[in-house]
């Protein structure tokens, strides 16, 4: 069964990490990467999303060199003993309520295979991203940022008990969305042992970081597998929080299409499978309001000049239910894959982005031809799908707020 172990972390030896930390690698666009590098030359994004240099044309080798340079120069310092770390995110939500997500950072032991030993994924992954993260892991031999996992009972109660015991604050940061991030040391060995023991009878759902988990497993297997790989390759850096809606905010990830025929009549194209109605112009907060109002079995459509609300007709809905596992029947990403993808011709590119307002801006700017909005997601739907062994399409869920990368790095060789 999986457990969560203390580990010796590489850390910045300063408390304020606002200018040194970064979001997870897969939500950073080129403009944000540039801004993070400009904020501080030692920002962790230079490791997460490395670029080739004159001396090292291979970006992954360049990241490994940079990591070693930062260790040698004292930019990152290795803790003197293994620890777990408490980590808290606090923000005020749209309704004005203070929301808090608290969990543990530790080394999560890898299962024998994906989906075994109580650790269950809920999404598929993309081959390109897996290759990228595996090349970076091979080169650096370090987990540069954590995956995010959700622990059921009894582990959820044990981890909250341990984090409540307090400890010396080691690092904190504020991110651009107003979230306050705080990390502190936990040296309670007995409490850490209770958390680890409780995980043996808990279900742990992977919320975020499926690509990094799969690459950690692939690297472990390259090095000898569950019984033969070095100890450092038998675990992955993880942020573990309770599997409970009160601690979580999850949003859908929408679909952006490029390369579709100019001026395509999307209402007409969808009319055979959906009841389509106009939802007004894509102005102000209209797209966000539409996305929030979508129900299971519906999709929103954003074009340069209009918003559409599309509800799957009964006959196609029955076909979808016959094809998809029950846990996916009303999930927007699954409906898109089953019903909309077959309508797309060759050369159409699908990309992924959370936030209805963001995708609307991209369509308005001509960066995408059309966007399909997915309905809201529920934590319980994700949990039930994972428990049933069902994996949702890639880029279905967006858990927020995101833990910052750069608070800890887990080297595999110490």
Whole-number Å distance between alpha carbons of 186 and 10: 16
Please report the pLDDT score of residue 327 as a whole number. Answer: 81
Please report the pLDDT score of residue 102 as a whole number. Answer: 94
Encode pLDDT of 192-214 as tens digits: 999 999 988 888 999 899 999 99
Whole-number Å distance between alpha carbons of 121 and 333: 16
In contact, 77 and 11? CB cutoff 8 Å: yes
In the predicted model, what is the mean pLDDT of residues 16-35? 94
In the predicted model, what is the mean pLDDT of residues 360-367? 94
In the predicted model, what is the mean pLDDT of residues 48-64? 89
In the predicted model, what is the mean pLDDT of residues 81-87? 96
Please report the pLDDT score of residue 236 as a whole number. Answer: 98
Please report the pLDDT score of residue 166 as a whole number. Answer: 78
In the predicted model, what is the mean pLDDT of residues 76-95? 92
Please report the pLDDT score of residue 284 as a whole number. Answer: 83
Please report the pLDDT score of residue 78 as a whole number. Answer: 98
User: What's the whole-model pTM score?
Assistant: 0.87
pLDDT band (50, 70, 90) for residue 115: confident
pLDDT band (50, 70, 90) for residue 118: confident
Tokens of 160: 């909250």
How do strand 10-11 and strand 4-5 relate by DSSP bridges? unpaired
Please report the pLDDT score of residue 54 as a whole number. Answer: 66
Please report the pLDDT score of residue 178 as a whole number. Answer: 92
Assess whether pLDDT exceeds 90 at residue 56.
no
Q: How many CA atoms, within 13 angstroms, populate the side-chain half-sphere of residue 113?
A: 0
- Between 17-21, 69-73, 357-361, the lowest mean confidence (pLDDT) is in 357-361
Assess whether pLDDT exceeds 80 at residue 316.
yes
Encode pLDDT of 211-224 as tens digits: 999 999 999 999 99
What does residue 16 show for φ and ψ, rounded to 5 degrees? -85, 110
Give me the domains of the chain, ranges plus CATH numbers.
4-248+399-411 (no CATH), 253-376 (3.30.1760)
């Amino acid at each position: 069964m999986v457990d969560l172990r203390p580990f010796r972390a590489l850390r910045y030896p300063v408390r304020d990490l606002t200018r040194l930390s970064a979001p997870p690698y897969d939500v950073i666009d080129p403009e944000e990467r540039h801004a993070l590098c400009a904020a501080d030359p030692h920002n962790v994004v230079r490791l997460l999303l490395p670029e080739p240099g004159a001396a090292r044309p291979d970006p992954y080798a360049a990241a490994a060199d940079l990591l070693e340079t930062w260790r040698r120069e004292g930019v990152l310092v290795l803790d003197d003993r293994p620890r777990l770390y408490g980590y808290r995110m606090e923000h005020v939500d749209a309704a004005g309520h203070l929301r808090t997500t608290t969990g543990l950072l530790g080394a999560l032991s890898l299962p024998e295979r994906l989906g075994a030993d109580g650790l269950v994924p809920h999404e598929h992954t993309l081959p390109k991203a897996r290759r990228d993260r595996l090349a970076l892991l091979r080169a650096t031999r370090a987990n540069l940022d954590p995956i995010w996992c959700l622990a059921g009972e009894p582990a959820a109660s044990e981890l909250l008990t341990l984090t409540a015991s307090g400890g010396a604050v080691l690092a904190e940061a504020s991110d651009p969305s107003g979230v306050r991030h705080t990390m502190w040391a936990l040296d309670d060995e007995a409490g850490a042992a209770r958390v680890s023991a409780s995980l043996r009878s808990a279900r742990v759902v992977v919320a975020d970081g499926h690509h990094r988990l799969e690459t950690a497993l692939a690297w472990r297997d390259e090095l000898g597998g569950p019984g033969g790989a070095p100890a450092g390759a038998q675990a992955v850096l993880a942020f573990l929080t309770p599997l409970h809606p009160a601690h979580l905010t999850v949003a859908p990830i929408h679909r952006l299409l490029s390369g579709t025929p100019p001026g395509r009549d999307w209402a007409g194209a969808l009319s055979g499978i959906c009841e389509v109605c106009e939802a007004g112009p894509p102005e102000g907060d209209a797209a966000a309001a539409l996305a929030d109002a979508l129900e299971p079995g519906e999709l929103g459509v954003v074009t340069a000049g209009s918003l559409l609300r599309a509800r799957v007709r009964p006959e196609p809905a029955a076909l979808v239910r016959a094809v998809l596992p029950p846990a996916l029947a009303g999930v927007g990403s699954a409906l898109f894959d089953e019903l909309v993808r077959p309508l797309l011709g060759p050369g159409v590119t699908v990309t992924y982005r959370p936030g209805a307002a963001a995708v609307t801006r991209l369509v308005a700017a001509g960066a995408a031809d059309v966007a399909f909005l997915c309905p809201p997601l529920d934590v319980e739907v994700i949990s039930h799908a994972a428990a049933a062994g069902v994996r949702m399409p890639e880029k279905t869920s967006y858990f927020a707020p995101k833990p910052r990368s750069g608070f800890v790095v887990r080297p595999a060789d110490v």
